[in-house]
Structure 1
Amino acid sequence: MLFIEYPKCTTCKRAKKYLEEHKVTFEDRHIVEDNPTKEELTEWIKRSGYPIRKFFNTSGMKYRELGLKDKLDTMSDEEKIELLASDGMLVKRPLLIDDNRILVGFREKEWTF
């Protein structure tokens, strides 16, 4: 299981604590130091069934700085994925990836083990 986080993010800290309390084994990955690649994002988006927009950190400063709220609707899926792959701070976190599911953000009721 892969857990992708930004260590300073309070939601990521809560999610990590939840995983540890439930004795879930995971590989930890820093989203900025090791940003998801275009190939990874493409696969995860496809497997998740979520729209690409769900993978954007819409409350992040970088998202607001780039004015993406209005721009995303005019971008192709490939352009959106390239943008996500360009900067980990644009990606919604935490991400939890295993063979069966992909979870974006932390909602405890979705994170059952």
Structure 2
Amino acid sequence: MIMLYTSPSCASCRKARAWLEENNLEYLEKNIFKEQLTEYDLKVILSLTENGTEEIISFRSQIFHDLTIDMENISLKEFIHIILENPGLIRRPILIDDKRLQIGFNEEDIRRFLPRDVRKLELKKLQEKLLINY
């Protein structure tokens, strides 16, 4: 099951939701301002990142600038506490399943959430189309 972490006024979140629905993918949506993130949520998200905490922080957010966080010198426990108190610090949307993570909406990258057989079929159709036009 895909988890979709969103916020109400996020255009990219609406795009991600629409894409999941268009592709008939089951998902659970969690509005991070209505349903508080948990320590477990954050640990799962962080476990799927390549660059750790830096990948999920919105460095351009006003909250980040107001808090003046020294990301280099805080513990994971402190980081999680800060995020739980300030959910607006994380980039959105966040999509995760048991082995994939996507932060933000990118129409090409989000395709990784399609089942493999669907992606193979689409690739085959594209290859056939290219051969016909060639």
Length-normalised TM-score, structure 1:
0.85
CA contact (8 A) 1:5 1:93 kept: yes
1:106 and 1:59 map into 2 onto residues whose CA distance is 17
- Greater relative contact order (Cα < 8 A, sep 6+): 1
Count of residue correspondences: 111
CA contact (8 A) 1:4 1:29 kept: yes
CA contact (8 A) 1:6 1:32 kept: yes
Q: Deviations over 1:28-59 (max 9, x none)?
A: 11111113212221222123333211111222
- Report what 1:5 is aligned to: 6
CA contact (8 A) 2:16 2:93 kept: yes
Structure whose alpha-carbon radius of gyration is higher:
2
Deviation at 1:94, TM superposition (A): 0.6
2:55 and 2:97 map into 1 onto residues whose CA distance is 18
Deviation at 1:111, TM superposition (A): 0.5
Deviation at 1:89, TM superposition (A): 0.8
- Structure 2, unpaired ranges of 5+: 115-134
Where in structure 1 do 4 or more consecutive aligned residues deviate above 2 Å? Answer: 47-50
- Report the residue type matching 1:111 in the other structure: I
- Report the residue type matching 2:56 in the other structure: F
Cα root mean square deviation, aligned: 1.6
Q: Deviations over 1:44-77 (max 9, x none)?
A: 2123333211111222221122123xx1122122
CA contact (8 A) 2:49 2:55 kept: no
Worse-superposed segment, 78-87 or 4-13: 78-87
Length-normalised TM-score, structure 2:
0.73
